[in-house]
Each structure stands twice: as structure tokens, then as C-alpha cells.
Amino acid sequence: MIYQGNAITVARGDDDIATLTFDLEGESVNKLSTAVVQQLDQAVKALGAEAGLQGLILASAKEAFIVGADITEFHGMFEKGEGEIQAMLERVHGIFNALEDLPFPSVSAINGLALGGGCEVTLTTDFRVMAETARIGLPETKLGILPGWGGCVRLPRLIGADNAIEWIAGGTENEADACLKVGAVDAVVPGEALEAAARDILARANAGELDHRARRVEKTGPLKLDAIEQMMAFETAKGYVAGKAGPHYPAPVEAIKVIQKGAGEERARAQAIEAKAFGKLALTDVCYNLVGLFLNDQVVKKKGAAYAKQASAIDQAAVLGAGIMGGGIAYQSASKGTPILMKDIKEEAIALGLKESRKLFGKQVERGKLSVEQMAERLSNIRPTLSYGDFTHVDLVVEAVVENPKVKGAVLAEVEECVGEDTVLTSNTSTISITRLAENLTRPENFCGMHFFNPVHRMPLVEVIRGEKTGDAAVAATVAYARQMGKTPIVVNDCPGFLVNRVLFPYFGGFSQLVAQGADFRRVDKVMEKFGWPMGPAYLLDVVGMDTAVHAGEVMAEGYPDRMGGMASDGGKSAIRRMVDHDRLGQKNARGFYAYEEDKKGKPKKVVDEDAIALVEGLAEGEREFSDEAIIARMMVPLCLETVRCLEDGIVGSAAEADMALIYGIGFPPFRGGALRYIDAMGVDAFVAQAESLAEELGPLYAPTDKLREMARQGERFYA
């Protein structure tokens, strides 16, 4: 044994080939924490001191190779400032360079995921062999930073500037075949042949058949591009990537600049350019929030996994109601391998549901994600039916009929009589109380909410809603099924609107008040889109559907009359109500705040509609100019306050879950980290002061809670 640590061991074989194995004790995956990097330093020094070695294999004893740096350390590290970040990067560069410069050929045997720092480690070796099922990539730009351990230097020299820009700016995970095609790896083999392939490459290098020294010269010298090639590669890419990333995500373009600046330099100088840019990005709010987002996502996934461990198997599902929503749920279940019955009382509804599923599978075939055979196989997972005949073997039912408590209650009571005693019943309701719907059931402990967001195949969130009598087994099974469907489930407690709609409607309330006071809804949309929302509130209402919004607003008004009472039907005074009264329901009938025409792809494209403008102007108490800051405050404060109330009321279990629900459910700007991180970033005291000043003019929707005021006094935050 050359070196032994609790994360890394280095053993010498009889053939004088050393194998450095990553195997982090007590963890399911390998991560490059500060402690692991220190062990790597010691291991590389031990290798350098070992006489007579003929080669080195980097390997992993886990399913994944290395999933990256330990992101839980990032906030603490970055808070130390630019100087400390630079020093950390220099230390790692020194270790990686020493690994690259060992006096014998080296190869990485990549058995599974090699991401971020894990990918950068493999770039230090002369060769790489990859298992067929492995994936590699540099996803750092998704965290608001860039590869800082040599990725921006080594990758372009290995696979060319164009390919490296695509990998790094896109933050993609790349399949084995794609890696081989661009030259990121030297061979792709079945997993069981990985070690033999690595040894074969080392033997060929030692025999002079493969020139590992020439490889090193290429990786450590300047990039081989003349001035015109550089300009074409980098300037075109910067414009394209800036357009795709948008103004709020600087890291992808910054990564291209780093590759460009380092292109004509030797290794040390190019790495210094990379380190400087990394240090600057690491201190931005965007990076802080995106790292926070990653950590929150881990919290949510862990909670989901803990529920799923307690769940009985969901081998057969069913959906009641075969419209667009039912068809979307059936597609999602079938596409992820869980067979599903799709039940309706009308043949034409069944046909519509199947058409929706076929359309979604067809798009997968068009994109090359599925073959026609795979599409046929997955479609066969959906079985349409007009009767309950096969429901005795169903493990979980999703009721997705019309949003009406009487209809839903009757359908749920009916299906309960046709399923087994342990079958879990769920309702895809966006607003109706789960406790209320359970009143008609003889086994309310087997019932909970399962709220999907539209369109089902795109929106990652599923709210799993626990009613007063819901049992743990029903919640666990529903969480497990949502995970099987590839969704992110978040468990919440029952209340009007649950979590996401309860938080969204005060945002719409802020919008209605702005418009009533003379704000131009198109300007409000532009300001909120510039702030980072995928669409402004008027556009979002068109997508949701005006009639749906009025119905949900009435539920909220009944549930929270003190602050949301104004959201009920108020004689046509609100812009939303006026739209409904004039049969302008949004995208569903191509007329709302905007008019809709089909684009070339057949998707609805919004256009300005003078009739809508006139309707809204007729409501306003005269025209009023609002600054961008005033619009943002009046839209964001009620949304953030309602999120705070949901946390205080125990509707959601943690700040992390609340923020992730808003990002996954309604497209809250990810680079802002969620509503509670947004309050933290402003400072709880500053947020409370802003809310109080607005509440004086605009009423209780803007009034901070007593607990939030106390947090402000104590200097507390939602995230430590």
C-alpha cells in the first residue's frame, strides 16, 4: 500500500501499476471536500516518491466516479472573501498539476458520474476510459460560477474550444458516445471491462505506441488557434450564450471569456486567469442564491427519499378524468414505467387524453429521445377504460376531474367502493380542502392531495397535501409515486390554496391593486420579467385561465377574508373579473389581457390587444406612473409575506421546502433563491420596514406578521 486514507487509497500492483481509488468512508458518493483534497495531495506526493512505477489508474469504488466538489462547503468558503478563494484554488491547482506531471503515464477509469471537480480530476490524467453508462460534465455555471480547478484550461485543449464552450457554458452532462466523439475520452467499454481497458492503454503508452508526453505538451501549452479562428470561436459564442443565459446569469459568458483570455497562455498563466474569474463570480448574489438552491434541493430530495423508503410499492396507478390534465398525468406515469388506467365516463374524453399522451410521446420521438418502438411500448402502459372493472388491483388513484367539490366528492366516494382496502386515493385539486373532500370517504386515512402543475410533463413540482385524517402510509405512497414519475414532491398541510396557490394569489392581488390605481399591465409584465419571472402577472393569468383565477380567488377570499377578501367577485371591479365578464379567459379562448395567435410551431403567441387595454383602462382611477422599484415592491411583498405565513402556520416544514416549491411550481426566479432568501438578501429589517410603509396605504395584504417583526428586531434570518 502506497497510501491509505478514509477517502483515498493507493495500492501498487505486481505489474508496478498503481491504482488510486476514491472511496469516501460513510458516504454513498465520492465528493471532493477540503479533507478529501488534502488526502489527494498526500496521495500524489506518495506517488511521486515511489520508485519504479510504470503507470497510474484513477478509479472509484462507488457507483459514481466523483460527483464533484462538496457544495455544502461553498457558502462558508466564499464568505471568507476573494483572497481566501484564490488561495484555495492555487492549492488545488498545485495538487492537480503535480498529478498531471507524475513521471509515468496515467489513465482515469470513469465508471459512473464524473461531474465538476470530479471531471476536472480526470482531465489531469493523460488518458481516460469510460464505462458505457457513465456521464461526465462541468455543471458549475448552473451554480453561478465556472470550473475553477483547471476545467476552463484543460478541456478546450483536449476537445477544442467550440466543444469546450458548449460543455462549460451549457453545464451539460455528456453521455459516453458523445465524449468519445469529441475526444474527451479515449475508449468506451462495458463497465466490467474498464480496468482491463485502462491497463491496456498504459501498456501501449509504455510500449511507445501511445505518446502520453505529447498529450501533456498539448494540455499544458497554448490553445492551437490563430487570431481569426479565436475570434470566430469566441465572439460568436459569447453573443449566442448571452442571449440564451439572459442578463441574470453571468457565469456562462464569463467562462467563455476565461477560455479566450487563457487561449494563448501556458498552463500556469491560464489557470491564474481562471482562478481570478472564479473568485469574482463566487462573491456574487447569483452564485450565493444558486448554491443555496442546490442545497435546498438536496433537503427536499432527502425528505422525499425518507418518505419513499416507508412506502408500499406502486406497481399500478389509475387516473380519473381523461382530459388534457388526465392525459398529461397518464403520459408522465407511463413514460417513467408505471402502468396506469385512464378512466372517464365519455369516449371523447378518453380519446382526448390518449391524443395528449400520443402527442407528448411523439415529441420525444421527434427529438430523438425515444425510438418509435420505445414510444409504442410506453404508450402500452396506458390502458383506457370506461368502467371500474380493473380497479381492484390499483395501488394508487389520482382523481383529476373538474374543480368542483361536489363532483370530486362523488367521484372519490364512487371509486373508493371499487378499490382494495389499502389503495391510496389522491385528488389533483388546486384549491379544494383535502379535509373537506375526505368527509365522503369511509377510509379518509388512505386519502391525500396530489396537486400537479400544468403542463404536467414540464412542471417539476407535485404538492402532496395532508388532510386532517390522512395517514402516514398514504403520504409515503404518494411521495413515492411522484418520485417514480420523475417529479419533486413537497409535503404540505391542508389549507385554502395549500402552499403554492396560497402564495401566488396575494401576488395577483398586488397586481390587481396596481392596475386599479392606473398602472399599465403591459409595463407591470415587462418590469416583473426583467426582475426575473418567466412571464409577467397578466401573461401568467392568461396562461392559468381567468375563470380558474376567479374561482381560486373566491376560495382565498373565503379562507383569508382579512387580507384576501378583495379577491372575491367584487361586482367586476377587478381587472381579472372584468376579463371573465367579457369572455376573455386567456389562452384557452385566445383572448385575455393579450390576444393569442399560433406561431410556426403551433404554440400560442401573445400579441397586444387594444380591446383588452381599453377594458382595463376603464377600471382605473385615472393614470398613475409607478417606478420599477414600486412595481416590484407591490408585487413581491404580498407573495413573500404569504410564504412567511405558510412557514409560521406549519403549512410547509422548512424554508428550503417553501422556496423550492415556488421555484418549481410557479417559476420564481431561481437566481433570487426563493421568497425567503429574497427577504434574507434584502435584510429582514429592511423588508419589514418596506412592508409596513406599503401596509399603511394598501392594507393588511402588506402587513408583516408579529413574528417577522420580532425576527427583524432580533437580527434573525430564515437561513443561518
Separation of alpha carbons 485 and 477, rounded Å: 12
What gap in Å lies between CA 654 and CA 296, rounded to an integer? 10
Q: Compute CA 102 distance to the chain's CA centroid, rounded to the nearest angstrom.
A: 40
C-alpha count within 13 angstroms, C-beta hemisphere, residue 197:
21
520/608 Cα distance (integer angstroms): 12
Closest CA to 292 of 69, 438, 74: 74
DSSP code of residue 586: B
Q: Look up residue 640 and give its three cell numbers.
A: 413573500
* Cα–Cα dist 506/641, whole Å: 9
Report the candidate in 672, 711, 671, 674 with the shortest Cα–Cα distance to residue 691: 711
Radius of gyration of the chain (CA): 28
- CB half-sphere exposure, 562, CA atoms < 13 A: 5
Q: How far apart are CA 290 and CA 296, in angstroms?
A: 10
Which stretches of 283-404 are DSSP H helices?
Answer: 285-309, 324-335, 347-366, 372-379
DSSP class of residue 144 equals T
**Contact yes or no for 593/538 (Cβ under 8 A):** yes
Is residue 418 within 8 Å of residue 388, measured between CB atoms? yes
At residue 437, the 3 state secondary structure works out as helix
CA separation for the pair 582, 25 (Å, rounded): 66
75 noted as active-site residue = no
Residues in CB range of 706: below 8 A, 6 or more apart: none
> How are beta strands 447-452 and 461-466 bridged, if at all?
antiparallel
Cβ within 8 Å of residue 366, ≥6 positions away: none
DSSP string, 500-556: HHHHHHHHHHHHHHHHHTT--HHHHHHHHHHHT-SS-HHHHHHHH-HHHHHHHHHHH
Compute CA 529 distance to the chain's CA centroid, rounded to the nearest angstrom: 19
Cell of 386: 370506461
Whole-number Å distance between alpha carbons of 64 and 56: 19
Q: What are phi and psi of 408, to 5 degrees?
A: -60, -45
Residue of 93, 212, 451, 457 marked active site: 451
DSSP conformation letters of 8-38? EEEEE-TTSEEEEEE--TT-SS--B-HHHHH
Evaluate whether 501 touches 465 at the Cβ level (below 8 Å).
no
Query: If we measure between CA atoms, which residue out of 346, 340, 349 comes closest to residue 322?
Result: 349
Name the one residue in this structure whose C-alpha cell is 408579529. Answer: 706
* H helix count then E strand count, the chain: 31, 20
**Length of the chain, in residues:** 720
DSSP label at residue 715: T
CB-based burial of residue 75 (10 Å sphere; 0-12 exposed, 13-18 middle, 19+ buried)?
middle
Residues with active-site annotation? 451
